[in-house]
Amino acid sequence: MRISIFGTGYVGLVTGACLAEVGNHVVCMDIDQDKVDALNRGEIPIFEPGLEGLVQRNHAAGRLQFSSDAVETTRHGEILFIAVGTPSDKDGSADLRAVLSVARTIGRELAESQLVVTKSTVPVGTAVKVRSALAESGTGRFTPRVASNPEFLKEGAAVKDFMAPDRIVIGIDDPKSESQLRHLYAPFNRNREKIFAMDIASAELTKYAANAMLATKISFMNELANIAERVGADIERVRIGIGSDPRIGYHFIYPGVGYGGSCFPKDIRALARTAADHGHQARILQAVETVNQKQKQRLFEKISLHFGNDLAGRTLALWGLAFKPETDDMREAPARVLMEALWEAGARVRAFDPKAMPETRRIYGERDDLALVDDPYEALEGADALVVITEWKAFWSPDFERIKALLSQPVIFDGRNIYDPRDLAEMGFRHEGIGRRASSPDAADQPGNATAAT
């Protein structure tokens, strides 16, 4: 099939490359000519495992092209995907200006046989606005066909998620649109039925509902972790105890320093805003957002308390900057909240991340209180403590003796609970995790105490 995709961001690029991989002829359009030129040279603007090779292979085979020509891109596709950004507006709602601008552009050249699909994460009712924009710019020549096809891609596993999806949601209101989308997704639907066809409004809400549920689990576990610290419980033991219940499960119940990225924060706000626009106060969603914002400050509170609320002149080593492993995405990353608080308190940061340091430089530029280094152990040189904030696999089994030798104090703030507190106490470290009592060498020999209190 001939596919056109408007937007070469995270969703558009992954969608285009994966659809080309199964034999479709895909054109991805972007208004940024420099970005288009780079993509045509095989240069990928984001880090996503497997994406670079996929793009380069399909571009070389002629199945994947990049263009800044909206007219030709519109004329090319049997199915046209809108995959542009929908950032949070000032009131928390999704900013649909880019989506509707693309719709108006498409509408001027759209043929009656073409299907326009919203791939961007958009609130309920967006398809109605898109259809209206298409019709108005097309001077009402015909009633455009519109569908919704929300994405469910995890950053760090997006290519795998697209090629082997657990579900494919399509929102349609006519048989022809459903037939076209079923045909397009047939290569990804071979082992079992994964396509869930529904009305457009339900499809639009499904995306938000999924992210809201996952974000709620994260904030709920972080709330439990904060309770655990105060009552002397170990949240890791609690997690195992509740996760063994199949009604709860182990997914997304790991306490930490809050969620970030491009999806959860803005989607929670947008869904709450949609509810408010329809006269409903979504109290759980508001609480999820509040807990998450507070949780992002938790590590700074622990660090500040440990150093007597005087961080001026201190140096902290940070392992991890991206909001999660296997991505370079720094959008709403907990590391940003921590670094900015440390700088405000007069501290310096030495940081390492396997992929996100170029993005960190782009955001913050050159600063006297920020050193981005090429090796995790280099970050420790002269630092007063180590802070683990992103759970990259490279950080899971480090050389602890080397860490102790490089730090001015043997202190680790473990924002992802990847280390065992008792093991670290036996090696002479003070360990502070999330929802676990702080452990230190003088408490390491307490019998049965995996999280010895100081």
208-294 has CATH 1.10.1040.10 classification? yes
| The domains spanning 2-198 and 208-294 adopt the same CATH topology | no
| pLDDT above 70 (res 452) | no
Q: Is the pLDDT of residue 213 over 80?
A: yes
pLDDT at 387: 98
* Per-residue tokens: 371: 């050193």
| Measured CA distances, 364 to 154, 315, 350, 388, 418 (Å) | 26, 18, 14, 20, 28
Q: Which tens digit of pLDDT belongs to each residue from 292-335? A: 999 999 999 999 999 999 999 999 999 999 999 999 999 999 99
How high is the pLDDT of residue 141?
A: 87
Tell me the CA distances in angstroms from 264 to 219, 220, 275, 305, one per residue in order: 11, 14, 16, 30
**CATH superfamily ID and name for 2-198:** NAD(P)-binding Rossmann-like Domain (3.40.50.720)
* Alpha helices in 232-386, H assignment, sequence order: 235-243, 264-277, 283-295, 298-306, 334-344, 357-364
* Residue 118 to residue 35: CA distance in whole angstroms: 22
Written as six digits, the tokens of 142 are 């015909």
Residue 166 has pLDDT above 70, yes or no: yes
Q: What is the pLDDT of residue 448?
A: 39
For residue 139, is pLDDT > 60? Answer: yes
Segment 118-142 shows an average pLDDT of 93
* pLDDT surpasses 80 at 444: no
Which strands form 348-352's sheet, in the order they lie side by side?
370-372, 348-352, 315-319, 385-388, 411-414, 430-432
* Average pLDDT of the chain to the nearest whole number: 94
* Residue 454 scores a pLDDT above 60: no
Contact call for residues 345 and 304 (beta carbons, < 8 A) = yes
Which CATH number does 296-443 carry? Answer: 3.40.50.720
The answer to whether the CB of 161 falls within 8 A of the CB of 153 is: yes
Q: Supply the residues annotated as catalytic.
A: 263
pLDDT at position 63 over 60: yes
Phi, psi of 449 (to 5 degrees): -105, 95
DSSP-derived 3-state class of residue 410: coil
Instruction: Please say if the pLDDT value at position 159 is more than 70.
Output: yes
Average pLDDT on 428-436 reads 96
Average pLDDT over residues 372-393: 97
Per-residue pLDDT, 315: 98
Q: Given the DSSP bridges, would you call strands 145-148 and 79-82 parallel, antiparallel or unpaired?
A: unpaired
Phi, psi (deg, nearest 5) at residue 361:
-60, -40
How confident is the model over 9-26, as pLDDT tens digits? 999 999 999 999 999 999
pTM, 2 dp: 0.90
Backbone angles phi, psi at 317, to 5 degrees: -95, 125
Instruction: Provide the 8-state DSSP code for 73.
Output: H
For the chain, the structural domain boundaries read 2-198, 208-294, 296-443
Asked if 148 and 127 touch (Cβ cutoff 8 Å), the reply is yes
